[in-house]
Amino acid sequence: MADVAAVVAAALARSGIRAVLTGGACATLYTGGQYQSSDLDFVLQSAATRRQLDAALETVGFTRRGEHYEHAAAPFLVEFPAGPLGIGADLDIRPVVYRIRGVDVKALSATDSCRDRLAAFFHWHDRQSLVTAVQIAQRRRVKLTKIRDWSAREAASAGFEEFLACPCP
């Protein structure tokens, strides 16, 4: 997945399209593969038409099929969910640069990836997302104070306490 993220990010950058890797793909990167996503979600940070996206991704062998892009040699889909970039009600997201094989990929930080997974747990009671958030926190340095404060703003302080106490692997 990391290789696909790097290839797609580089193709987008060459075409002048700014995008941030989000969602399950970030969780896959930050858990070292303990969590496996089947797609890569990039939220656009610059205006790009469907034609511009098609052209950029075609340069690296991806073809649009409906709302996603496929590559014959890649088991992962690439999607561009509607923005803005946000986690729960928080729209003040500061992407980081995640370096993959010499390519700068704008992505959620480990803290924001953890919050992204917790948002699914808090709002949709998705237990797998809780496990994934714990896995991210176990493998990466995350800002627990930021996560706690955000959880309170999301009216999910009890969910945050469950996150802290989770005996997840």
Q: For 3-39, write each residue's pLDDT tens digit.
A: 999 999 999 999 999 999 999 999 999 999 999 999 9
With a cut of 90, say whether residue 169 has pLDDT above it. no
Q: For 42-77, write each residue's pLDDT tens digit.
A: 999 999 999 999 999 999 999 999 999 999 999 999
pLDDT attached to residue 76: 94
What is the 3 state secondary structure string of the chain? CHHHHHHHHHHHHHCCCCEEEEHHHHHHHHCCCCCCCCEEEEEECCCCCHHHHHHHHHCCCCEEECCEEEECCEEEEEECCCCCCCECCECCCCCEEEEECCEEEEECCHHHHHHHHHHHHHHHCCHHHHHHHHHHHHHCCCCHHHHHHHHHHCCCHHHHHHHHHCCCC
pLDDT attached to residue 167: 85
